[in-house]
Amino acid sequence: MLRLDKYLADVGIGTRSEVKKLLKQGLISVNGQIAKDSSFKVNPDTDKVTFKGQELTYQEFRYYILNKPAGCVSATKDGLSPTVIEFLKGEPTRDLFPVGRLDKDTEGLLLITNDGMLAHNLLSPKKHVNKTYIAFVDKNLGATEMELFKSGVDIGDETPTLPAEIIEASEKQITDNLKNASINKENFIYSKAYLVTIREGRYHQIKRMFEHFNSNVVYLKRLSMGKLLLDSQLLPSHYRPLTSEEILSLKS
Ligand code: URA
């Protein structure tokens, strides 16, 4: 059972105080009776709540995938730059947060939710959730360097990174990922693109791993996190709710 004002705020009708006004105006009904009391208790599984006659569906947790463009920060608030949350126009964003961080200039898959437990499980260093990126760099790694990259790299932290995977990206992966990339195509120079999978989320991790081999990442995009994949139909700056299959796959 939960308070009616919390229920209404959770479904995105408005903030707690806006919801109070809507209740006063008699726009909310519970099981066919107009409800005006914010502290009225409802059972989201069995009670039928309507707003202006439209039945509401309660969802405690919400999950979205955003194709993060460059130029915004993975935070809920920022005085200067737009945040990733601002891209979820028209959604009840009050309690949403990004699961982990991508650098301001990194693009690609970002999970946004209000499910703290799932976020904790995906980010916990003990869980070693795979994150795959395509990294365009200005200097190739040689065969020995790739082997060293795979075994874990000293990036100046207390311990080297965990072993990672790295393979050269195919021509198709390169063209597909550069198609909508927010790079200045005329001046964009790179030497090679790699698919890199890491199991941690250290600060600037991939950039620092390449820097260890005197190679600079010139464009970075995340393609997957655990079993969640960035689909090619989702253009930069666009988002969609996760499907139930995707939610289950992240929890399994
Ligand atoms: N590694 C980085 O260097 N930057 C990111 O945004 C993500 C991983």
pTM of the full structure: 0.89
**For 39-53, what is each residue's pLDDT tens digit?**
999 999 999 999 999
pLDDT of residue 118: 97
Residues with CB under 6 A from ligand 1: 102-103, 106, 204-207, 220
Distances (CA, A) of 41 to 50, 95, 97: 15, 21, 27
20: tokens are 């109070």
At position 219, the amino acid (one-letter code) is Y
Provide the pairing of β-strand 217-225 with 107-113. parallel
Name the residue of 199, 220, 230 to mutate for ligand 1: max ligand atoms within 8 A of Cβ: 220
pLDDT of residue 42: 95
CA–CA distance, 84 with 75 (Å, rounded to integer): 7
- In ligand 1, which atom is closest to the CA atom of 131? 8
| Catalytically active residues, by annotation | 103
- Residue 14 Rama label (left phi>0; alpha psi -120 to 50; beta): left
Residue ID of nearest Cα to ligand 1 atom 2: 204
Q: Average pLDDT for residues 225-239, to the nearest whole number?
A: 95
**For 2-46, what is each residue's pLDDT tens digit?**
999 999 988 888 888 899 999 999 999 999 999 999 999 999 999
